[in-house]
Amino acid sequence: MRTWSILRDGRGFVELTLPDADPQQRRDLERATSYRYELYRENTLLYSSPRLTLSETRRARDGALVVAGSPG
pLDDT for the residue numbered 43: 92
Please list the rounded mean pLDDT of every run of 10 residues in the chain (72 residues).
Answer: 57 72 81 88 90 86 83 77
pTM score, whole prediction: 0.64
C-alpha dist (Å) from residue 2 to 37, 65: 12, 11
CB 18 within 8 A of CB 28: no
